[in-house]
Structures are given as structure tokens and as C-alpha cells.
Amino acid sequence: MAYVNPDSALVQAADDLLVKHVAAQPGGPCVSCGQVSPCASARNAAEVRRAAGLTAVPGAPVSAPPTNAGAFAPSGATSSRRLTLEKA
């Protein structure tokens, strides 16, 4: 189930970010912001695409299963932050 409309401006913006925030070589710095790749912008844009039911990387095969880490997480990377949603 997609939580975000795949045709929305949000997904288009995520695609634009993924095009701009790439590394010249795997594990190298992002060419746009200089952070270690994958930078926060690329990781967040990939999450927007997953929420729309799309692959994390534009142009990747649709049959590729989305994962928590996706193509943008360095090997062995984990997140210590958790998002908790509460009903008001």
C-alpha cells in the first residue's frame, strides 16, 4: 500500500534530489553537499519513493523489493533513531 501518491510533487522533488545527491564513486562524498554518500538528502528521498510504493532508486527494476536500508545505506549501517507516531 502506498502512503504517498507516486505522481505527487513530493515524489518528483525526491527524484530531483536523488539525481543531484550522488557520489562520484561508491562510498565517496556526495557531489552536491559533500557528505559521505549516501547523504541524508538521498536517504530521505529514497524513503519518500518507498512510501509511494516505488523502488528507492529511479530507474531500478520495479520488481526490486524495497528494504529498510535500500541502496543508500552503507554496509553495516544501523539507525539509532526511531519514529514514533501517536494518535492525538
pLDDT band at 82 (very low <50, low <70, confident <90, very high): very low
Q: What is the pLDDT of residue 86?
A: 46
Establish if 42 belongs to a structural domain.
yes
Between 43 and 70, the more confident residue is 43
CA distance 84 to 76: 23
Answer yes or no: is pLDDT of 76 > 70: no
Q: What is the DSSP letter of 70?
A: G
User: Which cell numbers hold the place of 52?
Assistant: 509511494
What's the domain range around 5? 1-57
Kindly report, residue by residue over 16-25, the tens digit of the pLDDT.
Answer: 999 999 888 8
Count of structural domains within the chain: 1
Q: What pTM was estimated for this model as a whole?
A: 0.62
Establish if 88 belongs to a structural domain.
no
Establish if 36 belongs to a structural domain.
yes
Establish if 64 belongs to a structural domain.
no
Establish if 63 belongs to a structural domain.
no
Establish if 10 belongs to a structural domain.
yes
